[in-house]
Amino acid sequence: MSDWSALIRDVPDFPKPGIMFRDITPVLADPAAFAAAVAAMAAPWRATPPDAVAGIESRGFILGAALALELRCGFVPVRKPGKLPGRTLSQGYRLEYGSDRLEVHVDAVPAGARVLVVDDVLATGGTLRAATELLRRQGAQVIGADVLVELVPLGGRDRWDDAAPLRAALLM
Ligand SMILES: O=P(O)(O)OC[C@H]1O[C@H](OP(=O)(O)OP(=O)(O)O)[C@H](O)[C@@H]1O
Ligand SMILES: Nc1ncnc2[nH]cnc12
């Protein structure tokens, strides 16, 4: 299996001074590494796959869509404001280097559908928390969350604090 994690590149002071940015684009650019990374994310969910993967814009779209194909389920976009054409629900949040809002279509999934929330990086945890609350407000049953990389010192897992499991393919 490819050591995809060795391809993650550290970029200091991006997007702001003091932030060490973990850049996953070299993993995505390498076919064997990309496939191995998605397989690692899929492994915990293969036995009981979700009805849908909800990917968080924008890096969560790349991994979430690949994971949905791998797990043979649907894909739901959780988007930044003003991008979805239908009626939406909206939720504000703070992340490691700023604040933003997320939106989801009111009819994104049927009530009670089993949804897995997916993103590339768990940092302070605000993004994943907001996406999960938004999907629950929409009527989804969030069965868990799945990230490629968990930045352990930033404490996102404490913020998660949820009965649904949070899986990370790599701890840094
Ligand atoms: O755990 P947190 O502190 O909330 O941070 C994690 C979030 O930060 C990044 O998203 P960003 O908003 O930079 O968007 P992008 O995917 O469009 O680059 C990353 O893709 C996660 O979604
Ligand atoms: N340090 C970091 N590297 C990459 N993505 C991030 N999202 C939030 N913090 C991040």
For residue 57, the one-letter residue type is E
Kindly state the greatest CA–CA separation across the chain. 43
Structural domains in the chain, CATH included, are: 50-171 (3.40.50.2020)
Q: Give the residue, out of 8, 24, 59, 160, with the most ligand 1 atoms within 8 A of its beta carbon, to mutate for a pocket test.
A: 59
DSSP 8-state assignment for residue 2: -
Of 139, 143, 148, 49, nearest in space to 89 by CA: 139
Candidates 22, 70, 79, 96; catalytic one: 96
96 part of the active site: yes
Count of H-run helices and E-run strands, the chain: 5, 9
pLDDT digits (tens, 9 = 90+) for 36-79: 999 999 999 999 999 999 999 999 999 999 999 999 999 999 99
Alpha carbon 20 to its chain's center = 19
User: Would you say the CB of residue 123 lies under 6 angstroms from ligand 1?
Assistant: yes
Question: How does the average pLDDT of the chain come out, rounded?
Answer: 97
Report whether pLDDT(17) > 60.
yes
Whether this prediction's pTM lies above 0.90 is answered by yes
Q: What is the pLDDT of residue 2?
A: 72
59 part of the active site: yes
Report whether pLDDT(1) > 60.
no
Predicted ipTM of the assembly = 0.98
User: Would you say the CB of residue 170 lies under 6 angstroms from ligand 2?
Assistant: no
Report whether pLDDT(157) > 70.
yes
